[in-house]
């Protein structure tokens, strides 16, 4: 066998993990695996945050629409014509004469 074939065959068998210098190889492998685990964890956390942000934006848009709808309903309820209709249903009518101003004076003793 050629030297290249022996090298590939030895790599596939895993002899680089069982040699005399395997301790150095194991340290590098464990370090790389640790870095990979950290990278995967941070990617998952970033994905979770992106999903949470999109959910909050959706909820914000819904609440904003509800706020605008409620404000519109309130403005309609406060309109004078609407109040007059409700007052007529209860038997109230607008004044025919304008209101009079009452002035209170206090006399000192």
DSSP letters, the chain, are --HHHHHHHHHHHTHHHHSTTHHHHHHHHHHHHHHHHHHHHHHHHHHHHHHHHHHHHHHHHHHHHHHHHHHHHHHHHHSHHHHHHHHHHTT----SSPPPP--------
Q: Is the pTM of this model over 0.85?
A: no
pLDDT of residue 72: 95
Q: Note whether 54 and 46 are within 8 A (CB).
A: no
Kindly report, residue by residue over 26-37, the tens digit of the pLDDT. 788 889 999 999
Q: What does the pLDDT look like over 19-72, one tens digit per residue? A: 777 777 778 888 999 999 999 999 999 999 999 999 999 999 999 999 999 999
Who wins on pLDDT, 88 or 20? Answer: 88
pLDDT at 16 over 70: no
């Amino acid at each position: 066998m050629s030297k290249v074939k022996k090298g590939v065959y030895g790599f596939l068998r895993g002899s680089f993990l069982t040699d005399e210098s395997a301790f150095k190889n194991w340290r590098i492998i464990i370090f790389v695996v640790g870095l990979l685990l950290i990278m995967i964890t941070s990617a998952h956390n970033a994905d979770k945050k992106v999903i949470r942000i999109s959910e909050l934006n959706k909820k914000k848009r819904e609440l904003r629409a509800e706020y605008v709808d409620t404000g519109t309903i309130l403005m309609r309820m406060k309109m004078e014509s609407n109040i007059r209709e409700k007052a007529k249903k209860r038997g109230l009518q607008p004044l025919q004469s304008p209101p009079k101003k009452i002035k209170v004076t206090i006399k000192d003793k």
